[in-house]
Amino acid sequence: MAKTTSAINVNVDTQIKEEATTILKGLGLNMSTFINMALIQVVKRNGLPFEVNPTPSKEMLEALQEENEMINNPQKYPRYRNWEELKRALLSDD
């Protein structure tokens, strides 16, 4: 019995596609073959076949620094006992 196939349409950054296509061509692969290989590995490993380590953005790093500052110096930051107190503080002109 013949295997059936399904099409996948994916939008990717044009430059990334061009660079990946060049690399894959150098390895003797085309995009379709690579994607099939990657999906087979996802199924075999029951997850991603590679480690994902996103690089945090500048905004994320600043937010983490601010969080650490708040944790280490809680006396510098206001405390609220309930939602109403917080809402009043946010709506006040002070």
Q: What residues make up the domain containing 24?
A: 14-45
Instruction: Let me know if residue 76 belongs to a domain.
Output: yes
At 69 the pLDDT is 94
pTM of the model: 0.55
Give the CA dihedral 34, 40, 43, 47, nearest 10 degrees: -30
Q: Is 35 domain-assigned? A: yes
pLDDT of res. 53 = 85
Within 8 A by CB and 6+ apart from 24, the residues are: 30, 31, 33, 34
pLDDT at 93: 77
52: in domain? no
Phi first, then psi, for residue 74 (nearest 5°) are -65, -25
Residue 75 lies in a domain: yes
pLDDT of 73 reads 94
Whether residue 94 is predicted with pLDDT greater than 90 in this model: the reply is no
Which of 29, 31, 25 has its CA nearest to residue 12? Answer: 31
Residue 81 lies in a domain: yes
Establish if 1 belongs to a structural domain. no
**Residue 51: pLDDT above 80?**
yes
Would the pLDDT of 15 be above 90?
yes
pLDDT band at 46 (very low <50, low <70, confident <90, very high): very high
Q: How many domains does the structure of the chain reveal?
A: 2
Q: Which of 8, 54, 1, 13 is nearest to 34 (CA)?
A: 8
